[in-house]
Amino acid sequence: MFDDDFEEEEFDPKKRKEKVENMPIYKKGWEIYELAHHIIETIPEDDEMLDHIRQNMMQDVTMLCPKIAGAEGGDLYDLRMENAAIIRKCARDLLTSTSGLKMMGYKDTQYTQLLRGAIEEFRLLFIDWVAGFDEWNYIIDRWGLFNPPGVGAHDKDPDDNIPPSEF
């Protein structure tokens, strides 16, 4: 996403940060953070099970935006996919937490419904975001999890044929 924007000009961290912060998925991540934070503040800490859910929600919701920024900054396919997998897990865990809250008798279920709706909107943005990852900008993931389609962990690296440059 950023290669074309920054290829011929000097890297400007401030511009890159602004671009990331203006991405719809990033903005939706912050909306989810605010909704989850409101819920978290209303969960009583004196109930051990509810407190456990509250802590899990805080951990999950604080990962969304930093992982989006990390995926955008890393730019390589495998790094972006790794961050995307973590984002997906955290978002799904937030959904599970809303169900757990309901099961444990949490009273303000209108807020959990708002959060669930925002996560669904986030999911749709996520699909388009991941589809835009450049499959040709990769290094082979030797662990085999996040290679582009058609690339395997045991494949020969095409860069191995490039002679070392003489500087």
Average pLDDT, the chain: 90
Say which range, 64-73, 90-99, 105-114, has the weakest mean pLDDT. Answer: 105-114
Residue appearing with tokens 């500087």: 167
CA angle, corner 139, sides to 91 and 85, nearest 5? 10
Q: Which pLDDT tens digit goes with each residue over 136-146?
A: 999 999 999 99
Compute the CA torsion angle 140, 142, 145, 148 (nearest 10 deg).
10
Domain boundaries along the sequence of the chain: 11-139
CA triple 46-47-48, angle to 5 deg:
110
Could you read off the pLDDT of 71-102 as tens digits, one per residue? 999 889 999 999 999 999 999 999 999 999 99
Q: Which residue has the higher pLDDT, 56 or 9?
A: 56
| 113 C-beta neighbours (distance < 10 Å), count | 12
Report residue 85 as tokens: 């997998």
How distant, in Å, are the alpha carbons of 17, 50, 101, 108 from that of 119? 23, 21, 16, 17
Q: What is the dihedral angle through the alpha carbons of 88, 94, 96, 101, rounded to the nearest 10 degrees?
A: 180
CATH code given to domain 11-139: 1.20.1440.60
Bigger pLDDT: 166 vs 104: 104
The mean per-residue pLDDT over the stretch 25-51 comes to 94
* Whole-structure pTM value: 0.86
Band the pLDDT of 8: cuts 50, 70, 90. very low
Task: Give residue 158's pLDDT.
Answer: 75
pLDDT confidence of 36, banded at 50, 70, 90? very high
CA distance 106 to 133: 39
Categorize the per-residue pLDDT at 124 as very low, low, confident or very high, splitting at 50, 70 and 90.
Answer: very high
